[in-house]
Amino acid sequence: MSSIYICHFLLFFSVLCAAFSVNFGDDTTDSYWLLRTKSEFVDPVGVLDNWSPRTSLCTWYGVTCSDDQTHVMGLNLSGSGLSGAISPEFSRLTSLQTFDLSSNFLSGLIPPELGQLQNLRELLLYSNSLSSNVPAEIGLLKNLQVLRIGDNMLTGQVNANVGNLTELRVLGLAYCQLNGSIPAEIGNLKHLQSLDLQKNSLSGLIPQEISGCIELQNFAASNNRLEGRIPASIGKLESLQILNLANNSLSGSIPIELGFLSNLKYLNLAGNRLNGEIPSELNQLVQLERLDLSKNSLSGTINIVNTHLKNIEVLVLSDNSLTGSTPRDLCIPNSSLHQLFLARNNLSGNFPLGLLNCSWLQELDLSDNNFVGVLPSGLDKLENLTDLLLNNNSFSGTIPLEIGNMSNLMTFYLFGNMITGRSIPVEIGKLQRLSVLYLYDNQISGTIPRELTNCSSLTAIDFFGNHLKGSIPATIGKLKNLVFLLLRQNELSGSIPPSLGYCTKLQNLVLADNRLSGTLPPTFRFLSELFLITLYNNSFEGPLPESISLLKNLSIINFSHNRFSGSVFPLSGSNSLSRLDLTNNSFSGPIPSELAMSRNLTRLRLAYNFLNGPIPPELGKLTELNFLDLSFNNFTGELAPELSNCRKLGHLLLKNNRFSGTVPPWLGSLRELGELDLSYNIFNGTVPTELGNCSRLLKLSLDSNYLSGDIPPELGNLNSLNVLNLQRNNLSGSIPLTFQQCKKLYELRLSQNLLNGSIPPGLGTLSELQVILDLSENLLSGEIPWSLGNVVKLERLNLSFNQLTGEIPQSLGKLSSLHRLNLSNNHLHGQLPPTFSGFPLSSFLGNEKLCGPPLIPCSESKGQERKWLSNTAVAWIIVAIVFTSTMICLVLIYIMLRIWCTWRKISISSSDNEDLGNNRGEEKWDFEDEVRNCDDWNMNTMALVPSQDKQIFAFSCSK
């Protein structure tokens, strides 16, 4: 029975072996090993479907057989869409001479076992995703002629054993992540014709031994980190046709030995640190077609001459420090030069007329130099020119009319010069291929010619910063390909032509800083590609067309400083909106909640309008919002708590509105806040302590509200604060000592509050305080801290209308930057610092005991009280003297009258013949004289009696 089982087992095993032989073949055959490697590949396209034991090996896709049809000589699976790994079992194909797996999606390592393929001549693995180091075993392939494994993610160094591949013709290691230096052993490769090491991270020197590659035709090591000098030994590579060492850190001068490379056609040394002059020996490179020495530090003059370099097609010398003018023989008639780039040097002189000989020239770049003078009228000799770049020089005069003859011109840069002229020449209208016209930053006046709109290929127009007048051509709509129209900062007037709406490809429209007026045309609805529109600083007016809401691609809108009115609703239709600025217009009504649909909005500026109502809570959905300015409007209500969701808010400006309620504590959660201005509203309550969490705050203005309570000491945590303004509130308590922590403060205003206590000496440590320190109109007491004299940058100091006492510290005299000072209406005394003499009296009024210039001298001040008492005594003495003198005079008058009266009596009694009436008349006359005399003395009522026994007369003197 057991023998039967054994027979059955042997039969099954033989069948299995037969099946295995059918599926995989003999393990001594190449087909066997190819079928095994097939299993490592992912073949989404099915290019390996015919790899089957049922078909002949030599018919398999990508396989090249030997003459006897038994061995694989070549395997080419390039660009087959394969992924997966490279199987080490490829090493079993011992007859393989060509192995090409390039341009696939293979990953993993390069199998070291490939070093066993001793017959291999070509190994092509480039353009995959292979990683790790290049295996050292590759150096065992003695017959290898082509090794191209670049454009992978290979790392590590170039192994020195690459020098063992003495039959190598092509070595391609470009576009990897190789590091280290180029091994000197590379010089052993005497048959090497192409060495491509571009786009790696190779460093160190280029080895002198490179001269051993005597058959080298192509040496490309650009975009690495090579340094040091270019070895002179390269000049021995007489077969060299291409030398590309661009974008490294090579230094020193260009070796003159490069002039010995008589077969060189392409020389690129751009983007290094080369210095010195361009060696004249380069003129010996008679086969040279392309020369690029740009982006170095080369100096001296240009000594490249076309008389020798007759085959030169491209000459790039931009971004150096070359001086002087361009050589006259840089171009010769019928020159092959197609591209000439001399930009960003220090070249000078007039426009080089010798360049007009380059009739085949297609691109000419003389930008960013020091060329002067007028543009030559013969410019149209360059009839093949497509790109003319003359920007950022000092060319003057007008644009030559002959520009219209340059029918192939596509790009014309003339910006940043001193071009004048009454207008842009109408001849430009002939340039049907003209695509870009940049004339900005010149002094061109006149109008924009209507003929310009004949240039149907125009995509970009920039006339910024000229003196163009008149209107925008009504035919602007003919420019169907126009993408950029930039006319900012001119003197254009009139309205926007309705035809502009037919420039349907327009993306950027910049008409700011002109004198344009009128309303926006309804044809704007056709500008569906419009991305940016700036109309600021004009005189546009009226409501916005409702159709603007159809412009869904609008991202940047700036209509500020115009006279627009009505609702801002039409501007809320674009979901792409990122910046909206309508400052200084006459818009009214509420903020449309639809603005919240523009989730990418970062800047919203609506200041200086007549907008009203509350802030829509929907704006809290604008999580990208950085700048919100609603100042100088009529907004009301409390701040919507939903705004706390705008975590990126850096500027919140709500000044001059009618917002009410308390200052919300959630403002402290806006950690990106750099500027908060809630001034001139009707906020009440206290200053929230949470504001101390806004560590990036630079400006905090809460002035002119109805805030009360103490100033929270947490504000001292604002270490970045530059401006703090809490004036014109009802704040009480003392000034927080923590303010001394705000070391970057340069403006501090706390005036017109109810603050009490003393001025903290710590304010004297705020060394950056410069604009103002204003503590006026409070209830502050105590002395002025001596430490305030350390704030030497301070320009304005106001401590007036407080209850400060003591002397003014002499240290304040060190405030040399101070140009405004007010210490008035306090209780200060003592001598002013000498440096205060230049301030007006008003700076110190209301302090009765201060002295020193500009007040009274302190010496007079010390005796002021005593001087006042002696004056009083003198006054009493004068009064006494006057009174005594008066009494003496009156006594004398009385005595004289008595004598006179006695005499009259005797005279009357002794006269027998005189008439009584006459005597009375004389009495009357004498009486009147006495009255006059009494009036002269200015006496009060007094009676004079001539005798005791008989009253002759009585009179009264009064005044």
Q: Mean pLDDT lowest for which of 4-13, 153-162, 675-684?
A: 4-13
pLDDT at 307: 74
pLDDT tens figures, 484-514: 999 999 999 999 999 999 999 999 999 999 9
| Alpha-carbon gap, residue 432 to 957, rounded angstroms | 116
Instruction: Provide DSSP, 432-497.
Output: TT--EEE--SS--EEE--GGGGG-TT--EEE--SSEEESPPPTTGGG-TT--EEE--SS--EEPPP
> What average pLDDT does this structure show over 867-896?
57
In this prediction, residue 882 carries a pLDDT of: 54
Amino acid 947: pLDDT: 34
- The mean pLDDT of 193-215, rounded to a whole number, is 97
**Lowest mean pLDDT: which of 14-28, 318-332, 784-798?**
14-28
Q: Is residue 917 packed enough to be buried (19+ CB in 10 Å), middle (13-18) or exposed (0-12)?
A: exposed
Identify whether the C-beta of residue 563 lies closer than 8 Å to the C-beta of residue 544.
Answer: no
Mean pLDDT, the chain, integer: 89
Q: Which two tokens stand for residue 930?
A: 């006495």
Percentage above 70 pLDDT, the chain: 87
Asked if the model's pLDDT at residue 863 lies above 70, the reply is: no
Alpha carbon of 526 to those of 71, 476, 511, 547, 767: distances in Å? 69, 14, 18, 9, 58
Contact 454, 482 (CB under 8 A): no
Report pLDDT digits (tens) over 726-770: 999 999 999 999 999 999 999 999 999 999 999 999 999 999 999
The single-letter DSSP state of residue 858 is: H
Interior CA angle at 667 toward 663 and 673, to 5°?
130
Q: Given this model, what pLDDT does residue 19 score?
A: 37
DSSP 209-273: GGGG-TT--EEE--SSEEEEPPPGGGGG-TT--EEE--SSEEEEPPPGGGGG-TT--EEE--SSE
For the segment 413-444, what is each residue's pLDDT rounded down to a tens digit?
999 999 998 889 999 999 999 999 999 999 99
Amino acid 858: pLDDT: 82
Q: H helices within 804-847, ranges in order?
A: none
Token output for 450: 């209507």
User: Torsion-angle region of residue 213: left (phi > 0), alpha (psi -120 to 50) or beta?
Assistant: beta
Instruction: Judge whether 161 and 185 are in contact, CB under 8 Å.
Output: yes
Res 900 pLDDT > 80: no
Bridge partners of 123?
A: 99, 147
Helix H or strand E encompassing 5: helix 2-24
Q: What whole-number distance in Å separates Cα of residue 235 and Cα of residue 677?
A: 70
Q: What integer pLDDT is reported at residue 190 of this predicted model?
A: 97
Contact of 336 with 312, CB cutoff 8 Å: yes
Range of weakest confidence among 274-278, 426-430, 710-714, 939-943: 939-943
The CA–CA distances, whole Å, from 32 to 49, 92, 205 equal 15, 10, 48
pLDDT in tens, 218-241: 999 999 999 999 999 999 999 999
Token pair, residue 40, equals 């490592």
User: Distance between CA 184 and CA 160 in Å, rounded?
Assistant: 8
Say yes or no to pLDDT of 944 above 60: no
Is it the case that residue 26 has pLDDT exceeding 80?
A: no
Q: How confident is the model at residue 362 (pLDDT cuts 50, 70, 90)?
A: very high
What average pLDDT does range 879-906 have in this prediction? 60
Write the pLDDT tens digit of every residue in 591-643: 999 999 999 999 999 999 999 999 999 999 999 999 999 999 999 999 999 99
pLDDT, position 894 = 66
What pLDDT does residue 901 have? 54
Q: Per residue in 115-130, pLDDT tens?
A: 999 999 999 999 999 9
What is the pLDDT at residue 878?
52
